[in-house]
Amino acid sequence: MKKLLRFGIAGGIGFLVDAGVLSLLLETTPLGPFLARLVAIALAMATTWIFNRTFTFARSGHSLAIEGFRYGSVGVTAALVNYGLYSALLLSFPDLQPVTAMVVATAASVLLSFFGYSRFVFRDE
């Protein structure tokens, strides 16, 4: 239960990074909601890796390179699901605010992330 709570905190921090960067880029650059979200997801993923590695899960016992590769693999898979749903929502509902689409897409990918990180990245072998 403690891991799930810590994962929720890490996810909340990642969510704030994602939403903050997305909002900032939409307001200050010409990137648009699709490119801005790619940048936001990448920064959020880096943030959650650091937090999850030091606070949520015990270090995996693998080298930093292997752990980083595994984390990236799970993160990219979850991000593709997240980004795909985000894009589908924005294309299907043109009046939908990008941050609202981000919230829905992120909620849908949380379980995939937790399962992947806890079972594939940070598990003891």
For residues 59 and 67, the answer to whether their CB atoms sit within 8 Å is yes
Task: State the pTM of this model.
Answer: 0.80
Give every CB contact of residue 47 below 8 A, 6+ residues apart in sequence: 13, 14, 17
Residues 61, 4: Cα–Cα separation, whole Å: 20
Closest Cα to residue 124, out of 30, 59, 28? 59
For residues 120 and 52, the answer to whether their CB atoms sit within 8 Å is no
Residue 3: which pLDDT band, with cuts at 50, 70 and 90? confident
Please write the tens of the pLDDT for every residue from 53-84.
Answer: 788 776 667 777 877 788 788 888 989 999 99
Q: Which residue has the higher pLDDT, 59 or 104?
A: 104
- pLDDT value for 21: 97
Residues 110, 125: Cα–Cα separation, whole Å: 24
